[in-house]
Amino acid sequence: MELETAFEMATSSIRYGAGVTREIGAELADLGLRNVLVVTDPLVRKLPPAIAVLESLDEAKVRYQLFDRVRVEPTEESFQEAIAVAKAGDFQAFVAVGGGSVIDTAKAANLYATYPPADFLDYVNPPIGKGVPPPGPLRPLFAIPTTAGTGSETTGVAIFDLVRLHAKTGIAHRRLKPTLGLLDPDNTRTQPAAVAASAGLDVLSHALESYTAIPYDQRPRPARPLLRPAYQGSNPISDVWVLQALRMVAESLPRAVADPSDDQARAQMILASAYAGVGFGNAGVHLPHGMSYPVSGMVRGFKPAGYDVDHPMVPHGMSVILNAPAVFRFTAAACPERHLRAAEVLGADVSKARPEDVGRVLADRIIHFMQVLRMPNGLHAVGYGAADIPALVKGTVPQHRVTKLSPRPAGEEELAKLFEEAMRYW
């Protein structure tokens, strides 16, 4: 096997500042884009960010159609609904205003409307799908996040629930990256505290997983540049972005959740989300995310406080962070210096930590943030028990895109032990 010798740093353009949401109309008009599909969800549709987008488009005389039926934690079915609307209209561009579910749905609608495949699973990540790369550039997509968590405005990844398999999967290629992300701190004013907590912990895990992922030069070299994955392994440029994201999360996340009027903390968190997105969008994530997909996909009755949803759901950031302490105790032995550095950046006292203590130190620091932000105490608190572990393992094994980035390999036996340890932390 020939090992990789290169990595590619692909990023979306970012515009940051209070009020930049209202620049979307002029931006589209200046680019000659006069017919667009606006993608959002039923809740955000009623809130100031979406209202500002539509008013801006009206003022700039940009014609638009509104699709406001995005499902929080989207499914294949909800993707297909947006795709059908995108195919029916002769849209020159897409505008997504909302959280990661909205932005991911817009990415899928753009891809499938621009290059309709023979089968829906053609673009989906293997081994579930074929992982066919998009055959060419997509139409412009402008992403306006209203949560500080997914970093979807900077990544080429779209995640959804494949209900028939009871697991999450996704589509990943750098051509899915938005053309421009408009980061407006004012847009997170309406973010409920529970959403801010879950989304912010997603940022934390994005950064930790990216920083501790297998190095890019330990992965197989692709036969052609087009086949180089979006998730390439840790690399010197992603490291810079994700370490800074961790610093910002440690300082600002508890403040932003405790006090939505803390404008500085909220502004830092929407930047931290984008920073982590740039980092993990090129380096990748690993086991906490791979294990999170069946946790979300197999949910039975759990409905999180603070989320306006009519269906059982484990929010994405919550499903990720519930696995994280167990995972980082496990992976620390593979690269203890990186785990120790991450723990230190997050505020842990590492002055007396021995190499064999590193995993515990980092896990304890993650648990500290979980407790401060009132996360459930492990997987049992969202409805899982020991009898569910075989199914959780089965749902994790196909997530090759991320599990193979773990710095320490985890087969079915290791995954079962990790899920067991993640059932309860305190």
Per-residue model confidence as pLDDT tens digits over 35-70: 999 999 999 999 999 999 999 999 999 999 999 999
Q: Which amino acid is at 302?
A: F
Q: What percent of the chain has pLDDT over 90?
A: 89
Q: Is the pLDDT of residue 11 over 90?
A: no
Structure confidence at residue 163 as a pLDDT band (50, 70, 90): confident
Q: Which domains does the chain have, with CATH numbers?
A: 13-188 (3.40.50.1970), 193-421 (1.20.1090.10)
What pLDDT is stored for residue 426 in this prediction?
Answer: 97
CB atoms within 10 A of CB 349: 10
**Token pair recorded at residue 186:** 């004012």
* 103 within 8 A of 143, measured Cβ to Cβ: yes
CA 266 to chain centre: 18
Mean pLDDT of 332-337: 97
What pLDDT is stored for residue 360 in this prediction?
Answer: 97
Strands 63-67 and 35-39: parallel
**Token pair recorded at residue 234:** 């840790």
| Chain segment 358-385, per-residue pLDDT in tens | 999 999 999 999 999 999 999 999 999 9
Structure confidence at residue 190 as a pLDDT band (50, 70, 90): confident
Strands 167-172 and 93-98: unpaired
What pLDDT is stored for residue 213 in this prediction?
Answer: 98
Instruction: Name residue 148's beta-bridge partners.
Output: none
The whole-angstrom separation of Cα 39 and Cα 54 is: 11
Mean pLDDT of 11-37: 96
Q: Is the pLDDT of residue 166 over 80?
A: no
Query: Which residues are CB-contacts of 20 (< 8 A; sequence separation ≥ 6)?
Result: 182, 183, 184
| Chain segment 61-111, per-residue pLDDT in tens | 999 999 999 998 899 999 999 999 999 998 999 999 999 999 999 999 999
119: left (phi over 0), alpha (psi -120 to 50) or beta: beta
Structure confidence at residue 169 as a pLDDT band (50, 70, 90): confident
What pLDDT is stored for residue 288 in this prediction?
Answer: 98
* Apex 406 CA angle, 403 and 407, nearest 5: 160
What pLDDT is stored for residue 307 in this prediction?
Answer: 87
What pLDDT is stored for residue 384 in this prediction?
Answer: 98
**Token pair recorded at residue 349:** 């006292």
Q: How far is CA 166 from CA 39, 77, 299, in A?
A: 26, 13, 9
What pLDDT is stored for residue 24 in this prediction?
Answer: 98
* 176 within 8 A of 134, measured Cβ to Cβ: yes
| Chain segment 390-417, per-residue pLDDT in tens | 999 999 998 888 999 999 999 999 999 9
Q: What percent of the chain has pLDDT over 70?
A: 100
CB atoms within 10 A of CB 42: 12
| Chain segment 309-323, per-residue pLDDT in tens | 888 999 999 999 999
- Identify the H or E element spanning 294: helix 287-297
Q: The pTM is what?
A: 0.94
The whole-angstrom separation of Cα 332 and Cα 343 is: 11
